């Protein structure tokens, strides 16, 4: 039986994340809430958590200094570290080297955080992209975030891969060498041999706007390239789809 994973919440105030802690515990995780200090950083290193959530108030510790200190710990070099900011996302957008694996701005959605934590172990993504440079760069990024990724460069290759791979998410370019991305998604919707995946059209931003109203095949439209902010959206929507399917 697999041991429950551990999440550490490092914070300078302990009065605003009760709902998130409860949801993490309901998911089967062990949660440790520690007030930020040198002792807390050492304790976090000893716990070897699956993830660390850093929560700092407006006048608290500099989060980037704290993140750098955590990365120096022996057992935390590869641990995922997330920032929960009370200042709003705009307060950190200007940082060039942020160092966090993702950043959430309050008020946070507990299910979005949970989806992001779960994704590394569960999410399979089929990327359909005929530009090999972009495809390989996106694959490398997504794999570094813990997703299992399969590539396809044509629509027909994607249809075969979906049956074999059974993805949770399909991200498909609109314009492919053989058939359109919309036709790929349309065919996947009708194929009983493919489980219900989140179907995403991945294209230039102006094209996403143009096609959004005329493409019921797609659950989501997303402009290129995929970054951490867009990945968070994908994982959140994947989780919502899973919950919807369970309720049916």
Instruction: List pLDDT tens digits, range 216-240.
Output: 788 888 889 998 778 878 887 887 7
Residue 99 CA to residue 82 CA, distance in Å, equals 9
pTM, to two decimals? 0.60
Model confidence over 6-28: pLDDT tens digits?
Answer: 999 999 876 678 889 999 999 99
Cβ count near 7 (within 10 Å): 25
Give the 3-state secondary structure of residue 214: helix
Q: Is-contact 174 207, C-beta < 8 A?
A: yes
Tell me, yes or no, if the two domains 6-108 and 122-247 fold the same way.
yes
Residue 166 CA to residue 65 CA, distance in Å, equals 41
- Each domain of the chain, given as residue ranges in start order, spans 6-108, 122-247
Give the 3-state secondary structure of residue 199: strand
* 70-84, 109-123, 205-219, range with greatest mean pLDDT: 70-84
Domain 122-247: which topology?
Rossmann fold (3.40.50)
In this structure, which CATH number among 3.40.50.2300, 3.40.50.300, 3.40.50.800, 3.60.21.10 belongs to the domain 6-108? 3.40.50.2300
Contacting residues for 167 by C-beta, under 8 A, at least 6 apart: 124, 125, 126, 150, 197
* 81-90, 106-115, 183-192, range with greatest mean pLDDT: 183-192
State how beta strands 169-173 and 198-203 pair. parallel
> Would you state the structure tokens that stand for residue 194, as one six-digit string?
């493919």
């Amino acid at each position: 039986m697999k041991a429950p994973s551990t999440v550490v919440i490092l914070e300078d105030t302990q009065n605003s994340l009760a709902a998130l802690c409860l949801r993490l515990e309901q998911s089967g995780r062990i949660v440790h809430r520690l007030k930020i200090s040198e002792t807390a950083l050492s304790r976090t290193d000893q716990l070897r958590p699956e993830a660390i959530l850093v929560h700092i108030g407006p006048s608290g510790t500099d989060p980037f200094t704290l993140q750098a200190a955590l990365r120096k710990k022996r057992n935390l070099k590869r641990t995922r570290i997330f920032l929960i900011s009370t200042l709003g996302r705009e307060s950190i957008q200007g940082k060039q080297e942020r160092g966090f694996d993702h950043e959430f701005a309050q008020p946070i959605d507990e299910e979005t955080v949970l989806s992001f934590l779960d994704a590394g172990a569960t999410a399979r993504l089929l990327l359909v992209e005929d530009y090999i440079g972009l495809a390989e760069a996106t694959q490398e990024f997504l794999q570094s975030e813990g997703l299992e990724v399969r590539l396809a460069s044509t629509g027909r290759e994607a249809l075969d891969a979906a049956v074999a791979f059974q993805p949770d998410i399909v991200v498909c370019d609109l314009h492919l060498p053989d058939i359109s991305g919309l036709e790929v998604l349309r065919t996947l919707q009708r194929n009983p041999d493919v489980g219900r995946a989140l179907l995403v059209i991945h294209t230039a931003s102006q094209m996403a706007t143009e096609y959004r109203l005329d493409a019921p095949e797609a659950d989501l439209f997303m402009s290129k390239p995929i970054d951490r902010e867009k990945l968070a959206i994908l994982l959140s929507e994947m989780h919502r789809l899973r919950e919807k399917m369970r309720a049916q």
